């Protein structure tokens, strides 16, 4: 699959196939594997799932998610109610450390605080993403842990070597400076791409991952 129309039609079919997405108001544009999603969806989980569905399609190199979340009338919550609901969800999730807090403004949640690992930050996002009234989540959580760059590089390289999704002949290169990991090279699929990114975030002390990976067409 390599033509503009083939990729676009395949994404439209995948969106229609995905039971977690209402694709009625989604339009797809594609230019040589560079895909844009435009239109509206009725919830933030659908906003996330639509991009994930597009990434599953062969030939997709990048997905620009321009979808807007337009909540059904019954799902709107005022800022105080949504803030309380989000903080309750964070407090009840055992994978989210104490000190992470949420603040709502017009359906947009901002997460703040400090965690030790990248997956803990992801856990905080997941804890609030499915709440009624959420239109978007902005993650400002910091990772407060100093790590040696050489140790971080070895940890990520070892994780990639163990991964079933990353081939032994992978040309992915891992570089670290301070708490920032830079990933370069080529991957075959978005699943492999996400496995590499996930491995980088799992390493202790990583506060930023710079993604320069190229997804094969």
Closest CA to 58 of 13, 12, 18, 7: 7
pLDDT at residue number 217: 61
pLDDT at residue number 153: 83
pLDDT band at residue 204, thresholds of 50, 70 and 90? confident
Percent above pLDDT 70 for the chain: 95
User: Is 172:109 a contact under the CB 8 Å cutoff?
Assistant: no
- Enter the pTM of the model: 0.79
Hey, is 119 helix, strand or coil? helix
Domain boundaries, the chain: 4-69, 74-143, 149-215
Ramachandran area for residue 32 (φ above 0: left; ψ -120 to 50: alpha; else beta): left
pLDDT band at residue 2, thresholds of 50, 70 and 90? low
Q: How many separate helices (H) and strands (E) can be counted in the chain? A: 6, 12
Report pLDDT digits (tens) over 65-88. Answer: 999 999 998 889 999 999 999 999
Topology of 4-69 in CATH?
A: 3.30.1340
Closest CA to 39 of 17, 60, 64: 64
Closest CA to 166 of 145, 182, 143, 187: 187
Strand partners, 38: 27
Which top CATH class is 74-143? Answer: alpha beta
CATH 3.30.470.20 at 149-215, yes or no: no
Is there a common fold for 4-69 and 149-215? Answer: yes
């Amino acid at each position: 699959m390599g033509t503009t129309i083939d990729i676009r039609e395949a994404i439209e079919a995948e969106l229609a196939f995905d039971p977690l997405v209402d694709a009625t108001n989604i339009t797809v544009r594609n230019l040589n594997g560079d895909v844009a999603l435009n239109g509206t969806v009725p919830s933030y989980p659908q906003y996330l799932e639509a991009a994930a569905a597009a990434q599953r399609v062969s030939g997709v190199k990048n997905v620009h998610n321009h979808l807007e979340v337009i909540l059904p009338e019954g799902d709107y919550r005022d800022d105080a109610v949504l803030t309380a609901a989000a903080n309750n969800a964070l407090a009840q999730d055992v994978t989210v450390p104490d000190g992470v807090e949420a603040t709502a403004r017009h359906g947009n949640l901002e997460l703040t605080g400090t965690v030790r690992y990248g997956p803990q930050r992801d856990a905080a996002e997941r804890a609030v993403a499915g709440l009624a009234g959420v239109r978007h989540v902005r993650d400002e959580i910091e990772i407060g842990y100093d790590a040696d760059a050489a140790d971080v590089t070895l940890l990520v390289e070892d994780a990639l070597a163990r991964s079933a999704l990353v081939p032994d002949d992978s040309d992915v290169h891992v570089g670290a400076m301070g708490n920032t990991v830079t990933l370069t090279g080529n991957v075959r699929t978005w699943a492999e791409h996400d496995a590499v990114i996930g491995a980088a975030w799992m390493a202790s002390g990583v506060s930023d991952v710079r993604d320069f990976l190229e997804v094969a067409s």
